[in-house]
Amino acid sequence: METSEQRKTSRRSFLIGGAALGAAATGVGRVLAVGSPAAAAVSSGSLSAGDAAILRFLSALEILETDLWQQYNELGGIQDSEVPGGTGNRRYTAALKNLDSDMDQYIHDNTENEFTHFDFINAYLVSRGVQAVNLDRFRTLPSSKATGAQQIGRLTNLMQLTVDTSWWTRYRSRTKNPDFGDTFPPAVPGLLQGQFPAIPRDDKDLTPDKHLQAIANTAGFHFATIEQGGTSLYPSLAQRVTDVEALRVVLSIGPTEAMHFQTWHDKAGNAPPLTDPTNGLVFPDLNAPPFGGEDFQTNLIMPEPTTFLNRSLPVCSIVRPTNTSGAASGALKFLTDMGLFIGQSNAFFTLMQNLAAEADAATRTC
Ligand SMILES: [Fe+2]
Ligand SMILES: [Fe+2]
């Protein structure tokens, strides 16, 4: 069993050295042809090419997810050896705590979980003879200049987000399901109408108070937006996994995304209603007209039962969407549309699109 010191060391060497665990474990010091058709064809070992492609895409998304959560943790989470790097931003952390006094703990724990997701999937890929995923050459985006953030290259951009909060009403509808083509109104319409920071870009963003609270509120809704995506992605892709053990990996990680989502759904409802005086972004009172009621009331965080598979079947409380067709490409588009990759290179998008296309080409073969 790994000691805490070994764990700390390996985590730190990832953060500083930038060598992904999987690549290091195989002694391969460069990014192999991940995402290329050749990689799927020749390096899948005892896994089918389709299973390898699904796990590689999930690994890539988990690396990206870790990158964003690490930025949140440096500024608004608990700083310790489990998730090292930042020094914390007192005012941003305090604004986040207006959503729940334990926000820093939850941010820390979500961040640590994400590290383990991609570490594990990469190590598992290697154990099955498949090349691990490494995105280090794309760590080129700037860090926040606010007090508390490390100054290192990032994979993701949390400073120009366009956040789709329609999951709020999607999980409250008793009749609609996105897999039937149904659409859902957002809880915070303003977050879809511009580009907003979810972390302070520099220390000027720490005032006035309502501006900083709007940034913390944006983060609060973004947390749930990210995690509901993971909640859908894993069951969507699991339907096309062939190998039983690989399926176990997917089925065992996926529900932890749902645990995250459920927590963040609850906390987002505590975001103080306000208008950001610097840009007009409105966080409405979701418990009062024209909001409120079954679709918006903030304590209705359990999924309502809804239509599933066929409208002639009884309603069921389910994760939605879970349609498997195009799920990987859809997840990549969802993250791209929210502005998470603003500033990334064409090579990054090409690689990610290839990984998604290969995962979406996977078919269950038994
Ligand atoms: Fe994850
Ligand atoms: Fe997650």
Q: Round to whole Å and give the CA distance between 9 and 300.
A: 42
CA distances (Å), 140 to each of 124, 156, 299, 328, in order?
Answer: 27, 9, 40, 24
Q: Percentage of residues in the chain with pLDDT exceeding 70?
A: 87
Closest by Cα among 216, 226, 213, 75 to 151:
75
Residue 15 has what pLDDT? 36
Q: Is the Cα torsion angle 53, 58, 62, 64 positive or negative in sign? A: positive
Residue 38 has what pLDDT? 41
Q: What angle do CA 166, 94, 162 make, to 5 degrees?
A: 25
Task: Give tens-digit pLDDT for 163-188.
Answer: 999 999 999 999 999 999 999 999 99
Report residue 45's pLDDT band, with 50, 70 and 90 as the boundaries. Answer: low
Distance (angstroms) between ligand 1 centre and the Cα of 214 equals 26
Q: Which ligand is nearest to the CA of 262?
A: 2
Encoding tokens for residue 274? 């306000």
Report residue 193's pLDDT band, with 50, 70 and 90 as the boundaries. Answer: very high
Identity of residue 358: E
CA distances (Å), 90 to each of 76, 95, 253, in order?
Answer: 8, 9, 32
Q: Is the Cα torsion angle 345, 346, 351, 357 positive or negative in sign? A: positive
Distance (angstroms) between ligand 1 centre and the Cα of 64 equals 9
Distance (angstroms) between ligand 1 centre and the Cα of 127 equals 20
Comparing 105 with 36, which gets the higher pLDDT? Answer: 105
Q: What is the mean pLDDT of the chain?
A: 90
Encoding tokens for residue 226? 């990210």
Distance (angstroms) between ligand 2 centre and the Cα of 114 equals 6
Distance (angstroms) between ligand 1 centre and the Cα of 112 equals 10
Neighbours of ion ligand 2 (CB under 5 A): 227, 230, 257
CA distances (Å), 287 to each of 123, 134, 255, in order?
Answer: 46, 44, 29
**Poorest-pLDDT segment among 36-50, 97-111, 174-188, 310-324:** 36-50
Distance (angstroms) between ligand 1 centre and the Cα of 275 equals 32
Whether the per-residue pLDDT at 341 is higher than 90: the answer is yes
Distance (angstroms) between ligand 1 centre and the Cα of 262 equals 14
Neighbours of ion ligand 1 (CB under 5 A): 62, 65, 114, 117
Residue 46 has what pLDDT? 85
Report residue 365's pLDDT band, with 50, 70 and 90 as the boundaries. Answer: confident
Distance (angstroms) between ligand 1 centre and the Cα of 208 equals 34
